[in-house]
Amino acid sequence: MKNYADLWLGYSEKKNNRDCKALRNIRLSGAPESDKVVINAVNELKTGLKTMLGFEPEITFGPSSAPVNATNGKEILDSEEYKISLADDAVSVEAKSGSGILYAAFDILRTIACEKDFAKTYSEIRTVRPSNPLRMLNHWDNMDGSIERGYSGESFFYENNEIVINDRTREYARLIASVGINGVVINNVNVKQAASYMITDRYFAKLAELGEIFAGYGIRLFLSLNYASTIEIGGMDSADPLDEGVISWWKDKMAEVFKKIPALGGFLVKADSEGRPGPFTYGRTQADGANMLADIVKEYGGIIIWRCFVYNCRQDWRDRKTDRARAGYDNFMPMDGDYHDNVILQIKNGPMDFQIREPVSPLLGGLRKTNQMLEVQIAQEYTGHQIDVCYLIPEFKEILGFKTYCSEDNDTVEDIISGRAFGSRYSGIAAVTNTGNDFNWTGNYLAGANLFGFGRLAFDTGLSAEQIAEEFVRMTISEDDRVVSVILSILLPSREIYERYTSPLGIGWMVNPGVHYGCSVDGYEYDRWGTYHRADHLGIGVDRTDKGTGYAFQYNEPNASIYNSPEKCPDELVLFFHHLPYTHVLHSGKTVIQHIYDTHFEGYEEVLEMAGKWDSLKGEIDDGIFGNVKERFGRQIDNAHEWCDQVNSYFFRKSGIADEKGRQIW
């Protein structure tokens, strides 16, 4: 049986490329043989080729360039670029750092693992430069070993308030480096008391060790920080960012932290949100808070990644003017240009919270003078808990390609986060990760496609969702063409299928309170009045136009006018922006109510079909993988059924309008 914990690094014997002479001699230049990242790259090449092709390559070293101390995104990209060229009897890799060499090694190994013709693939010199300088994973792991929104076991970083370092730690570093991740935040952004002590003597030694392991794979270690550490662990009574005592405490603390954890890249901060402390308490802005910390960590090369998920979770959803969607923009836009150059604002992809369909956050394309990172979530909090199959890369592709109209050209989200649009000092993309200590890392084996896919896409935004899925399947499950096409036909439409049986037309939520899995139309916990969707007997949807909350005008033109008009607004977002009668006719030609009925029935049927397709793979793929996904499909079918029943009957009872196809709605 395959060790499916190896995911895409579970190399096995390959048929093709065995006669490729060039692969027997690999020449690496650009970083010294003694560089620890190069040592890891060499090991990967040797063991990977030995397992897949039956021989160990001869590895030689060419000249190395001066070590790079990258202090901005462009330098990071320069140092991570690599070039692979092929002669008759040798493969040559040129880079400017160990990371470049490591990425080239994984490029070569991936080509062989996917059984591609090596000579053909590299017949022209291949020069690869990552699309984004920062490509990060954010863990929401707690010190007690639990994971907030974790669906694949417990944390492999923490157990009983201690940091764990073992073989799995190294395997993890290897796994994520192989898809191009270069930064990891290991603890939850909700930094509660125990985790505040991460920046104390008790944890320094372990963190230093962890930082070194990561560094060996070109990954920088980051920590989430409790903004009020001066109070939590400093014994002070203030966290005011302009208070001299507070500033001086942080100066001493950061000097200690960076000395004790030399590989530390910086901090991620969630402030003034969902009970977390922040500068608002002292009448200060988010910029005041972020800049104070950034100025202090600057001399250590540190960066402060400050989240824009700032909103009032106690808002009264009955109030028609208060709109949570507006909060990010309202809180952060006025200070565009004030954030210091080692601050990065990390922006969730939508203005709400990782719903299956949201418009792109208007901060992306609004902010022009601020470093920005996009935050997505591969932990399937609202997208099926790694029980339901939901391949998220098509969604991420849509987000990256969204035209913000922030400038004449280079105006997509991809342009902004790559640093191209505004020449930002730092920028990139982060995902709330979906891993845990489950044997296969991600619970549902197919959820591994989101981990793999996020890394691959962050590194090369030019890849298509299909290319990525195909690589995943070939590297982890099977190279058989039929198997590949069956699994692709499951993965590729799975996000839209999930959307069809859950929340319609961009309205969002409708989840069981707290857990966020399963249907409860009025259930979202922060809206105890069950009114956020504004559904009554006549219609549904939130008026975010100029006559409503005005949110549509946080976008640049023409997006603002498009979203402001029910005629122009794309169907999939129409209830996010408009309150409409159930009888309103969509672009699809269906009424809103008929769309709700049809998509829910269809979505459920499609889940049955996906499960049937998976069943057809029995005996053709590894039994462990087959059983793991089959068991989850059983639960996904129940979930889809429940959503279909609840949503359809809720809106049938509310509207009193029958299904025009006469299907039974309870």
Nearest to 449 by CA among 383, 404, 391: 391
Kindly identify the residues of this chain, within the stretch 480-499, that bind ligand GCV according to CB under 6 A. Answer: none
Closest distance to ligand GCV from the beta carbon of 377 (Å): 8
* Contact yes or no for 472/449 (Cβ under 8 A): yes
The encoded tokens of residue 441 equal 């890392």
Rounded distance between C-alpha atoms, residue 442 and residue 23, angstroms: 33
Single out the segment in contact with ligand GCV by CB under 6 A; choices: 183-191, 249-257, 457-465, 613-621: 183-191
Single out the segment in contact with ligand GCV by CB under 6 A; choices: 169-177, 184-192, 335-343, 600-608: 184-192
CA-based radius of gyration for the chain: 25
Long-range CB contacts (< 8 A, 24+ apart) of 278-281? Answer: 278/227, 278/310, 279/227, 279/239, 279/240, 279/241, 281/239, 281/240
The encoded tokens of residue 499 equal 């959307």
Single out the segment in contact with ligand GCV by CB under 6 A; choices: 185-193, 319-327, 332-340, 492-500: 185-193
Torsion sign across C-alpha atoms 288, 293, 297, 299:
positive
* Contact yes or no for 469/391 (Cβ under 8 A): yes
Single out the segment in contact with ligand GCV by CB under 6 A; choices: 187-195, 296-304, 460-468, 618-626: 187-195
Is 96 among the residues that bind ligand GCV (CB under 6 A)?
no
Q: Is 260 exposed, middle or buried (0-12, 13-18, 19+ CB in 10 A)?
A: middle
Closest distance to ligand GCV from the beta carbon of 150 (Å): 10
| Binds ligand GCV (CB under 6 A): choice among 148, 154, 398, 496 | 148
Rounded distance between C-alpha atoms, residue 258 and residue 199, angstroms: 10
Closest distance to ligand GCV from the beta carbon of 378 (Å): 13
- Nearest to ligand GCV of 276, 544 (CB atom): 276
- Nearest to ligand GCV of 35, 141 (CB atom): 141
- Nearest to ligand GCV of 304, 625 (CB atom): 304
Closest distance to ligand GCV from the beta carbon of 181 (Å): 19
Q: Which residues pair with 345 in a beta bridge?
A: 306, 372
Closest distance to ligand GCV from the beta carbon of 189 (Å): 5
Question: What does each C-alpha distance from 238 to 193, 226, 271, 277, 307 come to in angstroms?
Answer: 16, 13, 15, 11, 21
Closest distance to ligand GCV from the beta carbon of 236 (Å): 25
Place of tokens 């920088």: 220
Closest distance to ligand GCV from the beta carbon of 73 (Å): 24
Closest distance to ligand GCV from the beta carbon of 518 (Å): 15
648 φ/ψ sector (left φ>0, alpha ψ -120 to 50, else beta):
alpha
- Nearest to ligand GCV of 354, 651 (CB atom): 354
Q: Which residues pair with 222 in a beta bridge?
A: 185, 266
Rounded distance between C-alpha atoms, residue 522 and residue 526, angstroms: 11
| Binds ligand GCV (CB under 6 A): choice among 110, 270, 326, 495 | 270
Q: Which helix (H) or strand (E) holds 576?
A: helix 574-577
Kindly identify the residues of this chain, within the stretch 273-292, that bind ligand GCV according to CB under 6 A. Answer: 274
Is 189 among the residues that bind ligand GCV (CB under 6 A)?
yes
Nearest to 362 by CA among 564, 560, 561, 574: 560
* Contact yes or no for 267/304 (Cβ under 8 A): yes
Closest distance to ligand GCV from the beta carbon of 442 (Å): 18
| Binds ligand GCV (CB under 6 A): choice among 106, 309, 426, 576 | 309
Helix, strand, coil share of the chain (percent; to 5): 40, 15, 45
- Nearest to ligand GCV of 188, 418 (CB atom): 188
Q: Which residues are known catalytic residues? A: 274, 353, 381
- Nearest to ligand GCV of 150, 180 (CB atom): 150
Single out the segment in contact with ligand GCV by CB under 6 A; choices: 162-170, 188-196, 198-206, 531-539: 188-196
Nearest to 364 by CA among 554, 507, 548: 554
- Nearest to ligand GCV of 195, 492 (CB atom): 195
Provide the CA 378 distance to its chain's centre, in angstroms: 5
- Nearest to ligand GCV of 34, 193 (CB atom): 193
Cis before 558 (ω within 30): yes
- Nearest to ligand GCV of 118, 158 (CB atom): 158
Rounded distance between C-alpha atoms, residue 458 and residue 440, angstroms: 22
Nearest to 378 by CA among 442, 461, 465: 442
- Nearest to ligand GCV of 29, 226 (CB atom): 226
Is 190 among the residues that bind ligand GCV (CB under 6 A)?
yes
Question: What does each C-alpha distance from 558 to 364, 563, 569, 574 come to in angstroms?
Answer: 15, 9, 11, 16
* Contact yes or no for 375/439 (Cβ under 8 A): no
Closest distance to ligand GCV from the beta carbon of 307 (Å): 7
Is 140 among the residues that bind ligand GCV (CB under 6 A)?
yes
- Nearest to ligand GCV of 188, 434 (CB atom): 188
Closest distance to ligand GCV from the beta carbon of 273 (Å): 6
Q: Is 32 exposed, middle or buried (0-12, 13-18, 19+ CB in 10 A)?
A: middle
Residue ranges in 510-567 assigned as alpha helix (H): 559-564
Number of residues in contact with ligand GCV under rule CB under 6 A? 10
Closest distance to ligand GCV from the beta carbon of 426 (Å): 21
Give the HSE-up count for residue 471: Cα atoms under 13 Å, Cβ half-sphere. 23
The encoded tokens of residue 572 equal 């999939």
Q: Which residues pair with 388 in a beta bridge?
A: none
Give the HSE-up count for residue 167: Cα atoms under 13 Å, Cβ half-sphere. 2
Is 149 among the residues that bind ligand GCV (CB under 6 A)?
yes
| Binds ligand GCV (CB under 6 A): choice among 35, 353, 358, 606 | 353
- Nearest to ligand GCV of 197, 526 (CB atom): 526
Q: Which residues would be at the binding site for ligand GCV (CB under 6 A)?
A: 140, 148-149, 188-190, 270, 274, 309, 353
